[in-house]
Amino acid sequence: MKKVFLTTLIRKKALLGILISILTIAIIFKLTETSVTWRAIFQANLLSLSIAFLLHVLFWFFWAVRLKVLASFLGHRISLGYAIEMTIASVFLAAITPSSAGGEPLRVKMLHDAGASVGSATAIVLAERLLDAIFFTSALPIFLLLTGFSTKLGIKVGVVFSICLFGFIIFLWALVKQPERLDNFTSWIVRFLPRFTKRAEKAGERIKSELVMFRSALISITKNSYKNIATVIFLTALIWFSEFLVPSAILAAFGCDPQFLLSLTSQLILVILSLIPLTPGASGIAEIGMGYLYSKFAPQHVIGVLTGIWRFITYFLNLIVGFVVNVKLLKSKYID
């Protein structure tokens, strides 16, 4: 019964995200020169479109490599194939949840199934998110300075995101430097457990144990050599530049200037905006933001098709391939 309910919920969330995305893209098509757009579709350069698809595949690949490397920091050896399965399986759940929140729990579970403790697996996944956030906040001001593009919006988005990131890092720092805070936090949780389970004491001990391992894992990750830290930072850059170059490849496919710097700046703004927890996979937000930002430098007649193909590659492909991995390859083993 529980599995049927969860499957139904996932299906509804996926359908909602798809409908919002398609509706928004249709509106953008209506607001552009539709006749020219359709003619451009049939004149697209297939090599450039293939590169756009390949870039997104590289996004998955580099993410899997980083996951494998981070796991190795804690002594957990996972194969590249398993890391790729984790990545693709999790992007499906990320695509049907606000702020891509669904992908993290699945990666934690799959890492746990591979031998990591829940605390260590959580630390690895948290490290992924922190690396991404630090990359966004570091790269955005650089590209805003280089291009001077949409600086007002970019600065607002960057400042709010940086403040949230700084506050979260301070929280983690306090957790690591002052272990007594961990005990206080655990005690606070234990007080509420009797409302949900009769085994509150046992559950409390398990939570405390996992939080201790989580803290130890975070310390171990941060104490790695500069070479190892530089490696995961480099992989993070490869992950996101692969994804951010997709629109430039699509523009090139339709005979337009790829506008690399302006496109990369726009993607940095968009990826932060997409973290707003409003719709599954940021559907609607991503398409509107894409149409707005790219209308400032891309030809009007390609905005609709650019948004549609970009969203298909970076969103619908996650749903399609992620669904296949979850259902066919993993047989829903990790969605209990």
Q: 2: pLDDT confidence band, cut at 50, 70 and 90? A: very low
Q: What is the dihedral of CA 152, 157, 159, 162, to 10 degrees?
A: -150
pLDDT in tens, 45-61: 999 999 999 999 999 99
Higher pLDDT, 8 or 153: 153
Higher pLDDT, 37 or 208: 208
Dihedrals φ, ψ of 159, to 5°?
-65, -50
The stretch 222-230 carries a mean pLDDT of 88
User: What pLDDT score was predicted for residue 84?
Assistant: 94
**Does the structure show a pLDDT above 60 at 37?**
no
**Does the structure show a pLDDT above 50 at 1?**
no
Q: Are residues 290 and 305 in contact, defined by beta-carbon separation less than 8 angstroms? A: no
Mean predicted lDDT score pLDDT of the chain: 83
pLDDT in tens, 301-320: 888 889 989 999 999 999 99
**DSSP string over 188-247:** HHHHHGGGT-S-HHHHHHHHHHHHHHHHHHHHHHHTS-HHHHHHHHHHHHHHHHHHHTHH
Number of residues in the chain: 336
Report angle CA 317, 320, 323 to the nearest 5 degrees. 135
Q: How far is CA 147 from CA 151, 232, 302, in A?
A: 9, 27, 22
User: What pLDDT score was predicted for residue 98?
Assistant: 77
Higher pLDDT, 49 or 176: 49
State pTM to two decimals.
0.87
pLDDT in tens, 3-21: 544 456 566 666 776 787 7
The highest-confidence range among 72-81, 174-183, 218-227, by mean pLDDT, is 72-81
**Does the structure show a pLDDT above 60 at 336?**
no
pLDDT in tens, 157-171: 889 988 988 888 887
| Euclidean distance between CA atoms 328 and 322, whole angstroms | 10
**Does the structure show a pLDDT above 60 at 196?**
no
Q: 25: pLDDT confidence band, cut at 50, 70 and 90? A: confident
H helix runs in the chain, sequence order: 2-30, 34-42, 46-73, 80-95, 103-113, 118-147, 151-177, 179-192, 200-222, 226-244, 246-253, 260-273, 285-294, 303-311, 317-324
